[in-house]
Chains A and B, each alone.
Chain A
């Protein structure tokens, strides 16, 4: 059945498909970074459309910090199976050996070692020359200036002072040996566009986005879900069962839930239109200081 999608979303979809195809045509070893969240779900859906009736000509890669919600891992494996695509999972074994965890090491060390370094290891291991990411420009100030095709040196460094200008749809995909490109097909989408599109196209997303009774503790103003026994409770903390959902998904001890009863897509979209906080507020790693995302990006974080 032909679905009804607004001209605005149809145009965004078409532009993203152009970007996806350009990578397949111009790079030798692309990969799609699949982080299991709603943006990854949309990106994977667009990839399946872009190359139809072929399958996307690249594997999915998940850099697993070992602290993802259990429901995310189950969803990940199912999504890859449904798409019929190869799923590569990389865990920074060195970080594991060193005992790095969000609980023991704090959010910034955990993110640096398990995500940023883990990602670099995986890209080097498989010699990928292009990696799709689901980042959007509306997420954070420094991302508003990110290119759709973002060049990385052989050491995975990003130089914000020296980015290639992007004109029309003429993406400069040239790289030297060892260098790579990060490609963001959802650059021009907003959070609301993503949800509108998920609704219109009936795209599966992790159930954690929908409100449900879940065990949580309140810490520094954030609601942290007790997903397994690895989260040590502070003195006096007793998990309560509340109706909560997540606007963004990361490592569970670093991702705050919001109180909500929005249990389906129209309710989530309705809640968003009424909302007065931006989605990254739920991410504890961004709170250190306002320029922190840019610092992470220079080091190779997505």
Chain B
């Protein structure tokens, strides 16, 4: 060990010059995914002495294979899953053989963690799908194959594992292969390579096994080391999402980002997809000097010949082959949250480097991933896949996911919990978005406001049934009216008799109820009114949606915080009595939750404050915000 180490430069160079293959392993619980990876590492002598010692110690404590080494323990990292014996999260392993480097995503088979499988699949070039030779295709196998295909992976290895336990039976193997090929015919795979293996004993892993003389294909490792997964994509169009505007000083304005596809050179003409403005590339700047060209995957900083208004989220493209620009499109969604999809609810959509509010306007169908059939559906739950129409609040530039994974993928984020709620893949833009143009009007909101001598706003009262919302709203309107302020009061019960009489009280209907009211309130602010809205509006997300819709400067949220016990005691309409007797379903506070606002402009504590005091406080806030003049001043003006 103390000898000076002789280095071998040609070997170093050869090893580090190889392309990396990104792959994932998936399949049902207990099909042996972790064992397969552990076996690969072991046979490539990639398990180091101290790791092996730890493995032997752990195998005796947690192992499922008696005194033998349990290879799965090498890759099952977290304590909790070691005790349960299942992989519960995506683990990444890094393997280098003399011929190739691999990044392996080991993904779980347990049903409730399918979202993690989709995560591993989203960055991979190839999938190893494991099947237990004794059990054949299972629901999970089909589900995973469908997700692998949906996420755009074109190459699959069907590893029929535990082949030793069927006595290396060729007929069983052939049956599984035939069944898979028949299922996969509807999927979009370029290659399918079936290999009979035993991860535990090493058959057909690193070398071909003498136990399967009937199998004429390569061993698994040999196949992985040689497969070419590059898409025939030299001619793909240039796409570059601006990630960060680089302004070290006044004389330099560059656009930093990673090239999604295509190639660019100084002098090339580019278009900003959203605005259609054009310029030419001046320089391709990197810390290692300017480049003569840059291609897909390169992180660079571009400067342009002209000053264009460009920000993070914009997509630069070539003039003759542009992405679609639309605020409506059809997409596949893989739902990843424990909270169900609510159509019409506002989520945040992150696509490329752009984040915009988006809603699912229509769920067209749910995909039965076992049969690939289309099912009617009103919502999506955790692990379900659906095909839907999505609308964004501003147009975005995109390509169909099939043509470009980088510009066609997005995630949906829950606005309240910040959870990643779904993975999405855009199928195509919806034409109607291109054909409906907003009509430009001559008289604007500000013009209408000016002749009223006050600014428009939405004052939103939220709280439990019987909390006193309508009483306070009514007092506020009376005061404003008396002083010449133009108002309208929208009240829950009244709206449900007309505009929203088709809606009930389920979560879905409540979301639509508030969406419509939000749109109506917005129209009325356009007319210059101060709109008082009195609605239980139990969900934060919908109140946030209305806030976004009308703009945060014109939205004032009043939380009428009367304790539930007091509302029940008051029970002005006798509704709590009925709800508690089970006569009314989905009653807020009793059988449906109420999410109190996190940062309302005013909290009315009705057990300590009278309705008159609350109304005065609200009018004072409107004055302080500059929405209305001081009421005394108005009175003075009129008295002249």
Residues of A within 8 A of B (CB): 2-3, 6-9, 11, 13-15, 17-18, 21-22, 24-25, 48-55, 137-138, 141-145, 160-161, 163-170, 172, 174-176, 187-188, 190, 192, 196, 243, 259-262, 266-267, 269-271, 274-278, 281, 290-291, 294
Which of B2, B286, B298, B350 lies in contact with A259, CB distance below 8 A? B2
Which of A54, A172, A196 lies in contact with B16, CB distance below 8 A? A196
- Min CB–CB distance A209 → chain B (angstroms): 14
CA A8 – CA B13 in complex, angstroms? 11
CA A13 – CA B246 in complex, angstroms? 19
Which of B79, B89, B246 lies in contact with A54, CB distance below 8 A? B246
Contact A144 B50 (CB under 8 A): no
Contact A167 B122 (CB under 8 A): yes
Chain A neighbourhood of B246, CB < 8 A: 51, 53-54
What residue in chain A is nearest B95 (Cβ atoms)? A190
Chain A neighbourhood of B410, CB < 8 A: 170
- Min CB–CB distance B437 → chain A (angstroms): 30
Give B71-96 interface residues, CB cut-off 8 Å to A. Answer: 74-80, 82, 88-94, 96
Chain B neighbourhood of A6, CB < 8 A: 13, 16-17
- Min CB–CB distance A76 → chain B (angstroms): 22
Contact B48 A166 (CB under 8 A): no
Chain B neighbourhood of A187, CB < 8 A: 92
Contact B298 A25 (CB under 8 A): no
CA A107 – CA B528 in complex, angstroms? 68
Chain A neighbourhood of B93, CB < 8 A: 138, 144
Contact B5 A50 (CB under 8 A): no
Residues of B within 8 A of A (CB): 1-9, 12-13, 16-20, 48-51, 54, 57-58, 74-80, 82, 88-94, 96, 101, 103, 115-116, 118-119, 122-123, 243-244, 246-248, 252, 254, 256-258, 285-289, 297-299, 301, 312, 336, 348, 350-353, 405-406, 409-411, 413, 418-420, 423
Chain B neighbourhood of A266, CB < 8 A: 7, 9, 12
CA A2 – CA B288 in complex, angstroms? 7
23 contacts between A and B (CB under 8 A): A2-B289, A6-B16, A7-B17, A8-B20, A22-B353, A50-B299, A52-B285, A55-B248, A137-B94, A138-B94, A142-B77, A142-B78, A144-B75, A165-B119, A165-B420, A175-B418, A187-B92, A190-B96, A192-B96, A261-B2, A276-B49, A278-B48, A294-B77
Contact B91 A144 (CB under 8 A): yes
CA A3 – CA B94 in complex, angstroms? 25
User: In the complex where A21-B256, A25-B243, A52-B301 touch, is A165 in contact with B1 (Cβ < 8 A)?
Assistant: no
What residue in chain A is nearest B259 (Cβ atoms)? A14
Contact B77 A278 (CB under 8 A): no
CA A124 – CA B418 in complex, angstroms? 22
- Min CB–CB distance B500 → chain A (angstroms): 31
Contact B118 A165 (CB under 8 A): yes
Chain B neighbourhood of A7, CB < 8 A: 17, 19
What residue in chain A is nearest B336 (Cβ atoms)? A165
CA A15 – CA B80 in complex, angstroms? 31
Chain B neighbourhood of A54, CB < 8 A: 246-248
CA A174 – CA B298 in complex, angstroms? 26
What residue in chain B is nearest A280 (Cβ atoms)? B50
What residue in chain B is nearest A138 (Cβ atoms)? B94
Contact A277 B49 (CB under 8 A): yes
- Min CB–CB distance A150 → chain B (angstroms): 12
What residue in chain A is nearest B350 (Cβ atoms)? A170
CA A266 – CA B11 in complex, angstroms? 12
Contact B7 A174 (CB under 8 A): no
- Min CB–CB distance B615 → chain A (angstroms): 31
CA A56 – CA B297 in complex, angstroms? 22
Contact A269 B7 (CB under 8 A): yes
Chain A neighbourhood of B423, CB < 8 A: 165, 167
- Min CB–CB distance B184 → chain A (angstroms): 23
Given contact pairs A164-B420, A172-B350, A196-B12, a sample of 11 additional A-B residue pairs in the complex whose CB atoms are under 8 Å apart: A22-B243, A48-B287, A141-B74, A141-B76, A142-B77, A144-B91, A145-B90, A165-B119, A167-B118, A170-B352, A266-B12
Chain B neighbourhood of A270, CB < 8 A: 5-8, 12
CA A168 – CA B353 in complex, angstroms? 12
- Min CB–CB distance A233 → chain B (angstroms): 24
CA A7 – CA B455 in complex, angstroms? 60
Chain A neighbourhood of B8, CB < 8 A: 270
What residue in chain B is nearest A18 (Cβ atoms)? B258
Contact B48 A174 (CB under 8 A): no
User: In the complex where A52-B287, A137-B92, A267-B4 touch, is A9 in contact with B16 (Cβ < 8 A)?
Assistant: yes
Which of A52, A172, A274 lies in contact with B418, CB distance below 8 A? A172
Contact B419 A164 (CB under 8 A): yes
Contact B286 A52 (CB under 8 A): yes
Contact B289 A267 (CB under 8 A): no
- Min CB–CB distance B398 → chain A (angstroms): 13
